[in-house]
Structure 1
Amino acid sequence: MSGTKRKDAPSGITKGVKKQKTVETKRTKPQRAEEQTDSGGENGFGGFSDDDEEEMSAGGGDVTDEAVKTNGHSKTTNENAKPFKLENNTTSAEAHAKQRLVAKERKASKPNADAIQRSKKIWERLRRKSHVPAEERKQLVAELFDIITGRVRDFVFKHDSVRVIQCALKYANQEQRRVIVEELKGDLRALSESRYGKFLVAKMVSSGDSVTNTAVVEEFYGHVRRLINHPEASWIVDDIYRQIATTGQKAMMLREWYGAEFALFHRKGSSITKPKLEEAMETTTADLVKILEKNPEKRKPILQYLLQTINSLIQKKMTGFTMLHDAMLQYFLALNPGSDEHTEFLEILKGDIDKETEGGGGDLFRNLAFTKSGSRLVCLALAYGSAKDRKMIVRTFKDTIETMAFDQHAKMVLVTAVDVLDDTKMSYKSILSELLGQHGIADETQRLDRLESMIVNLNARLPVLYSLAGMAKWLVSDAEKALLSDVHAIRTKTSKKEPDARRKELLSHISASLLDFAAKRAENLVQSSFGCQFLTEVLLETEAEEKAAAKTAVAALATGDPTEEGHPAKNAAAGRMLKTLVLGGQFDPKTKSVKLTEPRLGFATALYPVIQDRVVEWACSDSSFVVVGLLESEDVEEGVKVEAKAALKKGRKRIEGVAKGDGKEDKGNAGARILVGKI
């Protein structure tokens, strides 16, 4: 009844004495639960009508068993029970006030009531962060710790007072935080399983230092597998694993998924001392392949135990844990490709996709894509899968393509999908067209803004540019290159289409859109190194025959005096871009020569008319190698070379002066020195 206002509560007591009502004793058919609730009304008295209340409060005689029968159900009286009734000349408001007073007195009689009440008042003040000056906050925190020190355990298992400890952790210094953690040693597991206490452990995880973090992690050794299945504690365990555990601690925790013999029990009575524990962490590995190599006789029980734990969480739809993703990858890497276990596990992954349910399921794949181990597992599943499997997996990501492109792990799923799908038309419609904004974005400005944000983003540019640049060193990191190399090795056995044919088909789909974007946003893109790399790749690698608009737009960037601040020539990335485009291809370090594109780009034809009046200034600028390229490239027409050389001869003295420098800090312009030798 607490907190619920009774409906139609009497506002006063009638003076007259009513006659006692008679209630039929005839039994009626029992009501359903919801009907019984309705008959009780909102007043919560389970069968007393308002008239009955008035009668009782007016002193209308004793209420017998017969009188309290409602809906055919009799209510027996309890001699020890204290029936609620309004006293003579007492209003409902006064009755409620009396009830609140009783509740307050009951709370005050509990242990630490005064301390909890005082601490809650401090918490109420501290939680208004913007309204509390820094100096006052220090005083309040100090006062709060005077109250809770030595009593932390009494506070944390109550839903209201645990917030006080959370607040204390938030504003405390590291020494004060260590005091709290020290007092709660031995209780952290119980707190993580508590409906309210788990938030305190989460606060410890997010605000601790190396000392408190180690103390927290060690509390969970030997209990990981049990707690990862707990509805309250599972997320706390995964947060500890993901956020604060060191590499050695992660290995200790993950090994508990491999069997009971791998669980390290760090509790009272354990023979494992702290030095031995630290030594064990340094030599312990969670690499299941290495563990099975050392213990081949344990292969079957370990794999069965691990699969059982994995499958349990998948069936419960608890698939967002980083620890689960790490365990799944370890299991998959330990299997022999093509074996029954390998095939069965791929079927378990696909089993989460249900065409009949709304949205088609697929939460497992979507969760996996955004973690390091999970992303690798999805990439391998795509590589090993059949054409039908790959299409099924890719469809689960249809609403998350853009989000995945900006994620450091999920982007590799998109790249792998583009790299292994033989149906390039599906790759374009499902992934590339979404990245290019060709579906669902009618406004052109909005579409171009979105694509520009991808091109200049370290993560998102990879799935957009991969079809153009492949595994270029400036685009793909060493770790990403290793994963893609594994995918390519698997692809040779599971895909029918040749890689060159796949790339050519993909370029035919995306070239027109990329060239159009380059022509319209060249001025913005040239301001960043990522944008310059994009412009270079688009002009060199796209398959479209008509590149005139894009070439003209990029060449127009060279307009003006190249020695002035803010000019693209002062930007090293823009200078490299123009030089590469003038050369007509990328420099190949293996052959020590430029690999010209086919058909030829002919960028100098568009660039020279823009810079011909200032070719000497370009020769003396930070981007002097653009002019060197004009004289050396096989992709430049002979007439342009002759005209450029004649113009440079007229400004030879100026070029020679820039080439020498001042002899002190300025060592001269390297490009200008090369030009002096050529003219």
Structure 2
Amino acid sequence: MSKSKRERSDASRSAESSIPLKKARITGKPSSSGQKLVTINNTSKSKGRSLATRTKSVAAKPRPSSNTKKAPRKHEHETEVDSDPIIESDTQSESGADDGVSWPSDPEEESGVALIHEDKTLDERSDLESEGGGVELKSDHVQANGQETSTNGPSTSRESHQKQRVLAQERKAAKPNAEVFARAKKIWERLRLQSHVPLPERKKLVAELFEIITGRIKDFVLKHDASRVIQTALKYGNLEQRKMIARELKGTYCELAQSKFAKHAIGKILVHGDDEIRDIVIPEFYGSVRRLIKHPEAAWILDDVYRGAATPQQKAILLREWYGAEFAIFKPSPTEKPSSDLADIFKTSPEKQTTILRYLFELINQLIQKKTTGFTMLHDAMLQYYINVRGTDTATEFLEIVKGDEEGDLLKNLAFTKSGARLVSLFFAYSSAKDRKQLLKAYKGVIPAMAFDAHAHKVLLVALDVVDDTRLTGKSIYGELLPLPSDSDEAVAAAHVSIVETALHLYGRSSLLYPFVNKLQSILPKETEKLVVECQQIRKQTSKKDPELRCKELAKVIARQLLAAMATQIPTLLAESFGCQFILEVLLGCTSDVVDANSRDPVLTTLINAIQDSKTKDTLATAHVGRMLKSLVQSGHFDPATKTIHLCNPPLGFADLLFEAIGPELVDWATGSNSFVVVGMAESQDLSPQNRQALSGMLKNEKKKIKAAAGGIEGAKANKGAEILLGKIEKGEI
């Protein structure tokens, strides 16, 4: 290859890898060869290191025009370099000293200076090149992206990575407390293996760890890995050691809450701490609630503190800051018991009502617009706002804002907190039919999860109780809670198991039993019953359908599915008190208005077979089975007010079935744990005359046994059911 061709090839490669300059001053003098020498002074600076200045002499080449095609590379084995051919080493302290680049000597290197920063982007380099900053370097060695390349051959990727690791270790070692952090992390790595560290060794490691971190807690807690060291120390340390950490961080908790890593340590402090630690941490958030609740990191830990750690008094102080700046500035006295109830505040300061409501609405709306709607504190504030404006146009506007959340996340989040569930229930109670339909639509896909939740199940009950369109509620709620199985036997069996699991759940069963029960207190906790009753009072002004008709229409939707599941799962249901109540309420609630009378027969037959099965002998002796059987033989519930039985229509006919099933063992039942079942049978209006006469004869013939069971013979344990039967025999009522 001729000299001119080599120069053109070198110029082509140099154009592809020209130096990016931010501020490049190019000076030079004609060389002896007629070329113009360009002097570039390059300065690079890295963290913790002095500036390294390098002065290089290069030969300038004319830039190729845009129309000129680049010469193709003919040497496939030559080292490829990227568009950033020279990157200064951050470990270089002297110009030209072992920097990995060989430069030609230049006696006039002092003639020009330019600062080149190694972290420039390709766009910046391109801009500089377009301004005439492109030059060619005549160099035997170039460095691409921090990796050395040589004419002797390219360095391997492994060597490059090794150098990068060495540099990273050097940088870490140069940081303050690097050795301390390294020692603490080694101990943490050992402590985190819970099942592999013997207790004596763990105590020794914890003691050593606290020797290291004492006095440096804040330095540790603000760093990623080091923050985990503090969390482990809180987990395995004793109470005094935890208090030491809490005291050392005192005065910094608002700052720590805003840290991506330190916020987790606050949670650990409160989880593993006592009341003293709690009273150190939580008061530091006073006065900063409005700012922190809008912070992307601090908001979550603040809400966790409010929900899970704060006392009722501390929660009230934190929530009051939502009502205005004065509540953040003026703190209540230690002896005062502040209230977060707006109604109480308005009673003492009615002139502040407009100002407080406006301030509260602005903060609520800000969080809703930011889509940060999962905070319990937000739900408490929204409830306070709504119950003080309900029944007004302001309440209607507020509901429109809530419905304006297109994703429906706000309504979903509200349903799973105590205050949020009450708020959504009030929305259902006060809303129009159109709004109720929109509210139900927001919960599509989460109905099963709501049914099993301690708070969300209240929303489902209120929706079933106030929505007049039973087709809508049947499809929206029961359509997800009780999906229709396919034709395969496996799918049907799985559906029946799912129904029984729901029926045995403390909260899930309420949605299934609601259409069948007459008294809500029999299936609902007092708190839930109170909310449902509150909404029923509102329903009188907002709903038109008769409550009994609504229940019957809902019962029609699910009755056949429930009966089919019961017929295959009787033994499972009998083993649980909730299961026995489920059997009783569904059988008594499936009246002729709901299903055909014959639809209950498979369940009754299966129940009789289970009673006759010797495997269920112990189960039949339980109190909950006895109560269920007594109500079934009476074919209705006992009313304490009138002291009568409300018969279902049509009657079950279970008394005759049970009498025929246990005939030979009737006296054993009368003197055993199920004596009240026989009492119910004797009092039942559902027992046929023929069987009643047979029952009377059998009991009279065994009067002595019954008397012994009733405590009439010394030394015998009294049986209350047998005592009642004995009285009826003696009075001639049997």
Alignment of 1:119-158 (within 5 A): 119-158=184-223
Q: Measured at CA, do residues 98 and 611 of structure 1 come closer, stay the same or move farther in structure 2, by a change above 3 Å? A: closer
* Deviant stretches of 4+, over 6 Å: 62-65, 67-70, 87-90
Contact 1:191 1:198 in 2 (8 A): yes
**Alignment partner, residue 517 of structure 2:** 469
DSSP 3-state at the match of 2:522: coil
Residues 382-402 of structure 1 deviation map (CA, whole Å, 9 limit, x = unaligned): 111111111111111121111
Q: Measured at CA, do residues 297 and 661 of structure 1 come closer, stay the same or move farther in structure 2, by a change above 3 Å? A: same
Residues 324-347 of structure 1 deviation map (CA, whole Å, 9 limit, x = unaligned): 00000000011141x121111111
Alignment of 1:297-308 (within 5 A): 297-308=351-362
**More off after superposition, 90-99 vs 103-112:** 90-99
- Are 1:556 and 2:609 counterparts? yes
Among residues 461, 468, 472, which one is paired with 1:426 in the alignment? 472
DSSP 3-state at the match of 1:332: helix
Contact 1:27 1:72 in 2 (8 A): no
Q: Measured at CA, do residues 336 and 376 of structure 1 come closer, stay the same or move farther in structure 2, by a change above 3 Å? A: closer
The CA distance in 1 between the partners of 2:637 and 2:159, in whole Å, is: 88
Alignment of 1:235-246 (within 5 A): 235-246=300-311
Contact 2:655 2:684 in 1 (8 A): no
Contact 1:456 1:530 in 2 (8 A): yes
The CA distance in 2 between the partners of 1:253 and 1:441, in whole Å, is: 56
Alignment of 1:194-209 (within 5 A): 194-209=259-274
Residues 5-31 of structure 1 deviation map (CA, whole Å, 9 limit, x = unaligned): xxxxxxxxxxxxxxx9976525869xx
**More off after superposition, 633-642 vs 201-210:** 201-210
Residues 336-383 of structure 1 deviation map (CA, whole Å, 9 limit, x = unaligned): 41x12111111111111x3xxxxxx11111000000000000000011
The CA distance in 1 between the partners of 2:439 and 2:202, in whole Å, is: 53
Residues 501-530 of structure 1 deviation map (CA, whole Å, 9 limit, x = unaligned): 111211222222222222221121011111
**Alignment partner, residue 37 of structure 1:** none
* Matched residue type, 2:700: K
Q: Aligned-pair distance for 1:60? A: 5.5
Aligned residue pair count: 617
Contact 2:497 2:565 in 1 (8 A): no
* Matched residue type, 1:344: E
Q: Measured at CA, do residues 653 and 197 of structure 1 come closer, stay the same or move farther in structure 2, by a change above 3 Å? A: same
**More off after superposition, 316-325 vs 546-555:** 546-555
* Matched residue type, 1:73: L
**Alignment partner, residue 350 of structure 1:** 403
Q: Measured at CA, do residues 255 and 163 of structure 1 come closer, stay the same or move farther in structure 2, by a change above 3 Å? A: same
**Aligned residues with identical type, % of pairs:** 44
Alignment of 1:622-661 (within 5 A): 622-660=673-711
Structure with higher Rg: it is 2
* Matched residue type, 1:617: D
**More off after superposition, 574-583 vs 444-453:** 444-453
The CA distance in 2 between the partners of 1:440 and 1:493, in whole Å, is: 42
Residues 50-103 of structure 1 deviation map (CA, whole Å, 9 limit, x = unaligned): 9xxxxx9562638998x99965633699xxxx9857498895666664554444
Alignment of 1:179-190 (within 5 A): 179-190=244-255
Residues 116-157 of structure 1 deviation map (CA, whole Å, 9 limit, x = unaligned): 121111112112222222221111111000111111122222
**More off after superposition, 85-94 vs 99-108:** 85-94
Alignment of 1:515-526 (within 5 A): 515-526=563-574
* Matched residue type, 1:505: E
The CA distance in 2 between the partners of 1:86 and 1:520, in whole Å, is: 76
* Matched residue type, 2:695: A
Among residues 31, 40, 61, which one is paired with 2:104 in the alignment? 61
TM value normalised by structure 2: 0.79
Contact 2:500 2:566 in 1 (8 A): no
Among residues 43, 59, 63, which one is paired with 1:25 in the alignment? 63
The CA distance in 2 between the partners of 1:289 and 1:162, in whole Å, is: 43
**Alignment partner, residue 84 of structure 2:** 47
DSSP 3-state at the match of 2:443: coil
The CA distance in 2 between the partners of 1:554 and 1:278, in whole Å, is: 63
Provide structure 2 residue ranges, at least 5 long, that are not aligned to the other structure: 1-57, 68-79, 88-98, 107-111, 119-123, 136-141, 730-734
Q: Measured at CA, do residues 437 and 85 of structure 1 come closer, stay the same or move farther in structure 2, by a change above 3 Å? A: closer
The CA distance in 1 between the partners of 2:487 and 2:366, in whole Å, is: 41
The CA distance in 2 between the partners of 1:600 and 1:302, in whole Å, is: 60
* Matched residue type, 2:298: A
Contact 1:411 1:463 in 2 (8 A): yes
Among residues 654, 657, 660, which one is paired with 1:603 in the alignment? 654
Q: Aligned-pair distance for 1:638? A: 1.2
**Alignment partner, residue 340 of structure 1:** 393
**More off after superposition, 291-300 vs 234-243:** 291-300
Q: Measured at CA, do residues 262 and 48 of structure 1 come closer, stay the same or move farther in structure 2, by a change above 3 Å? A: same
DSSP 3-state at the match of 1:587: strand
Contact 2:634 2:681 in 1 (8 A): yes
DSSP 3-state at the match of 2:637: strand
Q: Measured at CA, do residues 96 and 459 of structure 1 come closer, stay the same or move farther in structure 2, by a change above 3 Å? A: closer
Among residues 318, 321, 328, which one is paired with 2:382 in the alignment? 328
Q: Measured at CA, do residues 500 and 303 of structure 1 come closer, stay the same or move farther in structure 2, by a change above 3 Å? A: same
* Matched residue type, 2:63: T
The CA distance in 2 between the partners of 1:405 and 1:234, in whole Å, is: 29
Q: Measured at CA, do residues 541 and 187 of structure 1 come closer, stay the same or move farther in structure 2, by a change above 3 Å? A: same
Contact 1:26 1:72 in 2 (8 A): no
**Alignment partner, residue 278 of structure 1:** 334
**More off after superposition, 242-251 vs 669-678:** 669-678
Contact 1:433 1:439 in 2 (8 A): no
DSSP 3-state at the match of 1:467: coil
DSSP 3-state at the match of 2:645: strand
**Alignment partner, residue 378 of structure 1:** 424
Contact 2:417 2:455 in 1 (8 A): yes
Q: Measured at CA, do residues 62 and 455 of structure 1 come closer, stay the same or move farther in structure 2, by a change above 3 Å? A: farther
**Alignment partner, residue 369 of structure 1:** 415
The CA distance in 1 between the partners of 2:276 and 2:327, in whole Å, is: 25
**Alignment partner, residue 73 of structure 1:** 128
Q: Measured at CA, do residues 229 and 44 of structure 1 come closer, stay the same or move farther in structure 2, by a change above 3 Å? A: farther
The CA distance in 1 between the partners of 2:166 and 2:533, in whole Å, is: 73
**Alignment partner, residue 38 of structure 1:** none
Alignment of 1:82-231 (within 5 A): 86=148, 97=162, 100-231=165-296
Contact 1:604 1:630 in 2 (8 A): yes
TM value normalised by structure 1: 0.85
Contact 1:560 1:567 in 2 (8 A): no
**Alignment partner, residue 13 of structure 2:** none
Provide structure 1 residue ranges, at least 5 long, that are not aligned to the other structure: 1-19, 30-42, 51-55, 266-271, 355-360
Q: Measured at CA, do residues 444 and 98 of structure 1 come closer, stay the same or move farther in structure 2, by a change above 3 Å? A: closer
Q: Measured at CA, do residues 251 and 621 of structure 1 come closer, stay the same or move farther in structure 2, by a change above 3 Å? A: same
- Are 1:457 and 2:508 counterparts? no
* Matched residue type, 1:287: D
Contact 1:662 1:668 in 2 (8 A): no
Residues 446-489 of structure 1 deviation map (CA, whole Å, 9 limit, x = unaligned): 11111111111111111111111144323112221211111111
DSSP 3-state at the match of 1:567: helix
The CA distance in 2 between the partners of 1:413 and 1:440, in whole Å, is: 29
**More off after superposition, 529-538 vs 595-604:** 595-604
Q: Measured at CA, do residues 678 and 86 of structure 1 come closer, stay the same or move farther in structure 2, by a change above 3 Å? A: closer
The CA distance in 2 between the partners of 1:328 and 1:676, in whole Å, is: 62
Q: Measured at CA, do residues 235 and 429 of structure 1 come closer, stay the same or move farther in structure 2, by a change above 3 Å? A: same
DSSP 3-state at the match of 2:638: strand
The CA distance in 1 between the partners of 2:394 and 2:215, in whole Å, is: 54
The CA distance in 1 between the partners of 2:105 and 2:472, in whole Å, is: 82
